[in-house]
């Protein structure tokens, strides 16, 4: 049996408590799609944490599940709070760095948000693994040019001249 199937079967056994003897090629193909669904579910949960953190409004938190992610070009667009946010459920690769694709998409999101000059802007990252270290490495990338502020607590007010970076966990 190949190493990938063994790791996958072990994970599924840990999750379900059911001993798995083998996984067919058809089952493996189905599981590829589950990864995308899991990523969307994590993104939705982190989005809910962020909306709760920002607004404290349970109706807005509940509304997160009623729309698809990125429906308005941003993962979160709250006009009544003059706020946009991009939510990233990235797991660092190798423990402490982002993949090339993850880096590209975060830089792309920073650029897209920066164009929104009169809004409060947030980059929300799932606080998992070494994401803080990975984000710090990203900011040393020569392509990274935006003013940002990492938030460890909620300030009394926000400014529109920076992008706030927030790490949310508890998933």
For the whole model, what pTM was predicted? 0.82
Residues 6+ apart with CB under 8 A from 62: none
Distance (Å) of CA 25 to CA 12, 29, 72, 96, 108: 16, 6, 37, 32, 36
Digit-coded pLDDT (tens) for 107-139: 999 999 999 989 999 999 988 878 899 999 999
Instruction: Annotate 12-43 with b (16+ C-beta within 10 A) or e (fewer).
Output: beeeeeeeeeebeeeeeeeeeeeeeeeeeebb
Digit-coded pLDDT (tens) for 47-80: 999 999 999 999 999 888 776 554 445 688 899 9
């Amino acid at each position: 049996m190949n190493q990938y199937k063994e790791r996958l079967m072990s994970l599924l056994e840990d999750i379900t408590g059911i001993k798995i003897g083998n996984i067919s090629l058809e089952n493996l193909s189905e599981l590829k799609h589950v990864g995308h669904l899991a990523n969307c579910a994590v993104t939705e949960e982190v989005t809910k944490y962020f909306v709760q953190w920002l607004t404290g409004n349970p109706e807005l938190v509940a509304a997160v599940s009623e729309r698809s992610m990125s429906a308005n070009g941003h993962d979160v667009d709250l006009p009544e709070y003059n706020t946009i946010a991009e939510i990233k459920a990235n797991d660092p690769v190798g423990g402490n760095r982002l993949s090339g694709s993850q880096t590209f998409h975060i830089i792309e999101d920073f650029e897209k948000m920066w164009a929104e000059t009169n809004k409060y802007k947030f980059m929300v990252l799932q606080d998992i693994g070494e994401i803080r270290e990975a984000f710090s490495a990203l900011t040393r990338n020569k392509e990274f040019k935006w003013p940002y502020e990492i938030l460890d607590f909620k300030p009394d007010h926000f400014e529109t001249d920076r992008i706030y970076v927030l790490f949310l966990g508890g998933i």
